[in-house]
Amino acid sequence: MSRVYNFSAGPAVLPEEVLKECAEEMMDYKGCGMSVMEMSHRSKVYDEIIKEAEKDLRDLMNIPDNYKVIFVQGGASLVFAGVPMNLMKKGKAAYIITGQWAKKAAQEAEKYGEVVKVASSADKTFSYIPDCSDLDIPDDVDYVYICENNTIYGTKFWELPNTKGHELVADVSSCFLSEPVDVSKYGVIYGGVQKNVGPSGVQIIIVREDLIADGPALKCTPTMMDWKIQSDNESLYNTPPCYGIYVCGKVFKWIKKMGGLEAMKKHNEQKAKILYDFLDSSKMFKGTVEKKDRSLMNVPFITGNEELDKKFVAESKAAGFENLKGHRSVGGMRASIYNAMPIEGVEKLVAFMKKFEEENS
């Protein structure tokens, strides 16, 4: 077995010890005589797995008691519809457009009500986060929506928008559990787990209970997308994505063992600093994002020469650095350095970039 350094934007690198445990428990989970994949979701042993996963997540994020946690299927893309279906009681919402995923979320919401785009960074290819301290938000919106970390463009909201008293809904797929978060500032935090937390196929939605107390806003909401029903049934209305939740649970325990979200933040800042410092000093490579808005998770960079970019991607792959090619919509390179990427992965990448720069200058 030899492992590469995997800089994929998602699905992405997972902690080796989590994968080892999954392998060891594959045929027989803790002496119960079956794989977690084979267990009834109504069995006592699985109930412990899902309950413990929720408890560990609550501990890690310090989730207040008046917030519900649900594990659902469908991808963030399905939640794009779930947000207006559940929350658009007055039929209007404000969206801040900082990239492709916020744009797609807004487009989907337009099927169900009025969408007001209150800010955007489309003018500069989403390379920054717009000033959201004093936006013109209509009084009658149901919520203000952001994509908090923009996987494709490598930007992050370091300050939450001033929503002027409206509920904040945030897609945190690509920064989930990467640092401490004050859940009470949000109405809804949600994310797909396939970047920082587990295998694709699980979304986690954290929602303040009063927002869903009366059930969904729209009658056309499928039962499976009714957050109140999912919450009342503790994510067991139907068969959940059992194995994925089990892996997430292991990652939660790994983060706890590593010291929790404060420690994760330090670890992530350290890795990002190594890479950004190099980009800022290099004559060949440069970051594409305004410094104040740089993501700790996704680091896009270019050489300014498409042929050289291609050469870099090919040679880095040959050297054991996988998935450094930028998103098909923007080109260049991107290193996603999620929680499970070890520091030496980034150090070795920077050493490789230095060598490449020397050889190609």
Residue 254 among the catalytic residues = no
Q: Say how many residues touch its own copies, by CB under 8 A.
A: 72
Nearest to 151 by CA among 122, 180, 171, 179: 171
By CB under 8 A, name the one of 120, 178, 218, 316 that touches its own copies: 218
Q: Closest approach of Cβ 89 to its own copies, in Å?
A: 16
One-letter amino acid of 242: C
| Smaller CB separation from its own copies, 35 or 282 | 35
Instruction: Kindly tell me the sign of the dihedral angle through the C-alpha atoms of 62, 63, 69, 75.
Output: negative
| Smaller CB separation from its own copies, 27 or 343 | 27
One-letter amino acid of 349: L
One-letter amino acid of 62: N
Burial tier of 174 (Cβ tally within 10 Å: 0-12, 13-18, 19+) = buried
| DSSP output for 267-310 | HHHHHHHHHHHHHHH-SS-EE-S-GGGB-SSEEEEE-S-HHHHH
Binding site members? 42, 76-77, 101, 151, 171, 194, 238-239
Q: Which helix (H) or strand (E) holds 72?
A: strand 67-72
Name 7's Cβ contacts closer than 8 Å, sequence gap at least 6: 13, 321, 322, 323, 324, 334, 335, 336, 337, 341, 345, 349
With CB under 8 A as the contact rule, which of the stretches 38-46, 55-63, 274-282, 299-307 interacts with its own copies? Answer: 38-46
Residue 123 among the catalytic residues = no
Residue window 177-216: x/- pattern of binding to its own copies, with contact defined by CB under 8 A: ---------------x-x---xxxxx--------------
Q: Tell me how crowded residue 6 is: count the other CB atoms within 10 A of its CB.
A: 19
Name 237's Cβ contacts closer than 8 Å, sequence gap at least 6: 223, 224, 229, 230
| Smaller CB separation from its own copies, 130 or 192 | 192
Residue with tokens 């492709």: 100
By CB under 8 A, name the one of 30, 38, 196, 283 that touches its own copies: 38
Provide the 8-state DSSP code for 131.
Answer: P
Length of the chain: 361
Tell which positions 48-107 bind its own copies, by CB under 8 A. 73-78, 80-82
Tell which positions 1-20 bind its own copies, by CB under 8 A. 1-4, 6, 8-14, 16, 19-20
111 near its own copies, judged by CB under 8 A? yes
Q: Closest approach of Cβ 40 to its own copies, in Å?
A: 5
| Smaller CB separation from its own copies, 25 or 357 | 25
Query: Are 284 and 357 spatial neighbours (Cβ–Cβ below 8 Å)?
Result: yes
Q: Closest approach of Cβ 202 to its own copies, in Å?
A: 8
By CB under 8 A, name the one of 62, 66, 239, 360 that touches its own copies: 239
Considering the candidates 56, 68, 92, 101, report the single residue annotated as catalytic.
101
| Smaller CB separation from its own copies, 5 or 153 | 5
Tell which positions 125-154 bind its own copies, by CB under 8 A. none
In the chain, the N- to C-terminal Cα span, in Å, equals 36
330 near its own copies, judged by CB under 8 A? no
Considering the candidates 68, 195, 250, 325, report the single residue annotated as catalytic.
195
Q: Closest approach of Cβ 141 to its own copies, in Å?
A: 21
| Smaller CB separation from its own copies, 81 or 118 | 81
Residue window 277-316: x/- pattern of binding to its own copies, with contact defined by CB under 8 A: ----------------------------------------
Binding site members for pyridoxal 5'-phosphate? 76-77, 101, 151, 171, 194, 238-239
Residue 293 among the catalytic residues = no
By CB under 8 A, name the one of 50, 247, 275, 353 that touches its own copies: 247
Q: Buried (b) or exposed (e) across 111-120, using 16+ Cβ within 10 A?
A: ebbbbbebbb
Active site residues: 101, 171, 195
